[in-house]
Amino acid sequence: MLSNLRSSIHVRRHSLRARLALGVAFPVMLMLIGMSVIHYLREVRLIEEQMRQTATRIGEVTSGSIRHIMDEPGKGHLNQILTDVSETKDISQILLIDLDGRIAVDTTGLSKGERRAKTDTGCVECHNAPANLSARSIILASPPQTLRIASPIWNESECHACHDPTSEHLGVLLLDMSLLEAREHIQEDLKIEITSSVIFTTLVTAAVYLLVDVLVVRRIKDFKSPLESFASGVFTNRLRVPSPPRDELDTLAASVNQMAVELEQHLEEREQQQLLRYRAIVDERKRIAREIHDGVAQLMGYVNTKSSAIHYLLRDKKNSEALDQLTQLSRSSQDALQELRISILGLRMSDPHEDGFFNSLESFTDQFGKLTGISVDLRLSPGDRFPSLSPEIELHILRIIQEALINVQKHARAQKAWVHLSVNTHILEITIGDDGRGFDTENPSNDDQPHFGLAIMRERAEGVGASFHLDTEPGSGTRVTVRLPLEEQ
């Protein structure tokens, strides 16, 4: 259980929600706390300044009152006035010290009559300050957080009757004010502000966490299932995308869906190409089997029959008839050898895409003409450029042309043949024709007609999405036309 808790904490700590929330929360919290501390320091300085000003005014008023009392008979009111002033909020005590350092008046009554030296604590701080200041203020270390205001009592002309006129001062009035209560209030305010900052930061963190979870993390998690299915080769899953997309994540989801559509199409095209390749292999095997059956197998049967006939003719001393049989056997073997060479020529051209389709076709027609003696006119319409096709489609088209020319060699008894290629309005048109004897399409049972090869050519054409058309009649030659739509490639 402890390990599960640690794992959960580790996952959350490294989650996008937590990292973004903390990334926003910490700067906000530091900023708020920093602002609170700055406000605290400014408020402390302001309070101290206000208390200095207040204490200075109180000292000045008190000094004035002292001078007024000294001008009148009955100076017993002095202690009462100072006692009344000391009862003002935050004033802890008032001291009146003469020139000899003797404390003449102490509102607390604790140090009256004592003498103070300039080097004593509470005195040295002011006497070390610049002498041009008539009223001085200082924060004492003891007692702590105490603001002392020193107001000199000047020896004015009205005082010369009772005091030595050569002396500049008669003494000093010390007024002590406690800063503890004021600072405690400010510190309480600081605690409240810092607590409020922490609470506000916590709320901001929770809000950012929830917003990131709803607006980002959950939507990113929706990508997981489709992407996993894409990785396994299944491209049918789609992400939900509003129309129009609301933000960048919706745009990304739309792009992922588009990618899935393209991958699915690519997969279908690849499967279709594999199917075409498989069909091409099967058709090639059928063609080879047919050519072996029509060529080598029949030749072997023919040779066996003729050799038996020749054997019996020679045994019966019929040399002239045996010679005729040998001549027929020689002619048939030459025809079979020619067909075998044409078949081998077609097998060698197994990858027209490697050397270029038109170059491969040109090589085949040249060698075909040399082997059969049939002149083949290969022509690409002027101004046309042979389109770029997939290797499988190029192989199928080449096999159709080869099959048509082999039929010309086997059945047409032609002197000339032609292969014309043209591109018209996004359609590749291939025409293979000859000037041979043609045949009757209504009588397919005639063994001297190329019905098996025509079926193979038609299947190949339909397999690549092309149309197949045959035009022939006895005595008028034969024309095969294949039309392949290029926009589907």
Q: Is 382 left (phi over 0), alpha (psi -120 to 50) or beta?
A: beta
* The token pair that represents 276 in the structure block: 């075409």
Gap between the Cα atoms of 171 and 174, Å rounded: 10
Beta bridge partners of 480: 432, 470
Element (H, E) at 275: helix 248-291
314-343: buried (b, 16+ CB within 10 Å) or exposed (e) per residue? eeeeeeeebeebeeebeeeeeebeebeebb
Of 345 and 389, the structure prediction assigns the larger pLDDT to: 389
Of 182 and 437, the structure prediction assigns the larger pLDDT to: 437
* The token pair that represents 124 in the structure block: 């040295």
Q: Cα 451 vs. chain centroid, distance in angstroms? A: 59
In a domain, 389, yes or no: yes
Mean pLDDT check: name the lowest of 49-58, 130-139, 175-184, 283-292: 130-139
* SS3 label, residue 438: coil
Beta bridge partners of 482: 430, 468
Last residue of a domain, one of 135, 157, 185: 185
Helical H segments across 72-179, by residue range: 77-86, 124-127
Residues above pLDDT 70, as percent of the chain: 78
DSSP labels, 328-358: HHHHHHHHHHHHHHHHHHHHH---HHHH-HH
Number of domains in the chain: 2
91-111: buried (b, 16+ CB within 10 Å) or exposed (e) per residue? bbbbbbbbeeeebebbbeeee
In a domain, 4, yes or no: no
In a domain, 214, yes or no: no
pLDDT in tens, 457-484: 888 888 888 999 999 888 889 999 999 9
In a domain, 21, yes or no: yes
In a domain, 208, yes or no: no
| CA-wise closest residue to 125 among 149, 107, 108 | 149
In a domain, 326, yes or no: no
How confident is the model at residue 347, as a pLDDT?
64
Amino acid at position 164, single letter: D
In a domain, 310, yes or no: no
In a domain, 213, yes or no: no
* The token pair that represents 172 in the structure block: 């000093």
We report the CATH number of the domain holding residue 76 as: 3.30.450.20
pLDDT in tens, 31-68: 877 787 787 777 777 777 776 677 667 666 666 666 66
Res 332 pLDDT > 80: no
Res 243 pLDDT > 90: no
Res 302 pLDDT > 80: no
Question: What are the angstrom distances between the C-alpha of 160 and each of 103, 151, 167?
Answer: 21, 20, 9
Could you list the residue range(s) of the whole structural domain that residue 95 is in? 15-185
Last residue of a domain, one of 147, 166, 185: 185
We report the CATH number of the domain holding residue 430 as: 3.30.565.10
Q: Which residues, in sequence order, are CB contacts of 459 under 8 Å at separation 6+? A: 279, 283
| CA-wise closest residue to 437 among 424, 450, 427, 428 | 450
95 backbone dihedrals φ, ψ, rounded to 5°: -120, 140
DSSP labels, 134-146: SSEEEEESSSTTE
Which of 293-307, 380-394, 447-461: highest mean pLDDT?
Answer: 380-394
Sheet of 169-178, strands arranged across: 103-106, 91-98, 169-178, 146-154, 136-140
Last residue of a domain, one of 162, 185, 208: 185
Question: What are the angstrom distances between the C-alpha of 45 and each of 31, 141, 188, 474?
Answer: 21, 17, 16, 121
pTM confidence score:
0.44
Mean pLDDT check: name the lowest of 209-218, 252-261, 476-485: 209-218
